[in-house]
Amino acid sequence: MKAEIRADGLHIVGYVNVPGRESRPVITPRGKVIEVIEQRAFQRAIGKVDNIDLKVDHERKIASTKEGSLKVYEDEVGLRAEAAILDEEVIQGAKEGKLKGWSFNMMKVVDEIEERTGKLPLRRVKDFVMTEITLALRKMPVYSSTSIELRAEEEEEVEIRTSECDTAVIDLTEAKKDTINYSECENRILQLKER
């Protein structure tokens, strides 16, 4: 994620998710699994909705595609987001280095579970509906929580990709050990630019 503070607000550009890569263990409606989102699933998800919101910690809207302050698309690398943010809390969080990453929600998931000997099952996510991405400020961008949301007078499962955390207790030394290596993505970007 690249965050740049300018006179007209905070500009953030980055990859929300890279399809084809295995996640850390995820708690889903089908149990604990390792998850892989298939190529072009994000592109299809974006095409199913009129608007995608950018929220802080899956709570408060700070930008949207409808308003023109958020651009979301899937390219050869993954789900890319570009946002112009005026929210003071997020700008201050960026200044203090507190932005932890991206997350997203999934509804109406079409998946396939592959049982594996001695390992967690592999969940291949083929299709879904996505109505938001989020910047993690107080929550950790991990694959661990599921919530139920009421929509149109019926229950609908909404899977989100953050969990609660107490930022005062986080040991940053330990967190750095678990940092995601984006070198493969960066190499793919360089290769695409050279074409």
pTM of the model: 0.71
Provide the domain limits for residue 156.
Answer: 2-194
pLDDT, residue 108, reads: 95
Of 44-48, 77-81, 136-140, 184-188, the poorest mean pLDDT is in 184-188
pLDDT class for 140, splitting at 50, 70, 90?
confident
**193: exposed, middle or buried (C-beta count within 10 Å: 0-12, 13-18, 19+)?**
exposed
CB atoms within 10 A of CB 62: 21
Instruction: State yes or no: pLDDT of 10 exceeds 80.
Output: yes
The mean pLDDT of 101-124, rounded to a whole number, is 93
CB 16 within 8 A of CB 102: yes
pLDDT tens track for 142-184: 433 322 222 233 345 565 555 444 433 333 333 344 455 566 6
Of 3-12, 81-90, 100-109, the poorest mean pLDDT is in 3-12
CB atoms within 10 A of CB 159: 20
Q: Output the DSSP codes for 124-192.
A: EEEEEE--EEEEESSSB--S-EEEEEEETTEEEEEEES-B---TTT--HHHHHHT----HHHHHHHHHH
SS3 assignment, position 93: helix
pLDDT, residue 146, reads: 25
pLDDT, residue 180, reads: 56
Number of domains in the chain: 1
* CA atoms in the 13 A half-sphere facing the CB of 182: 14
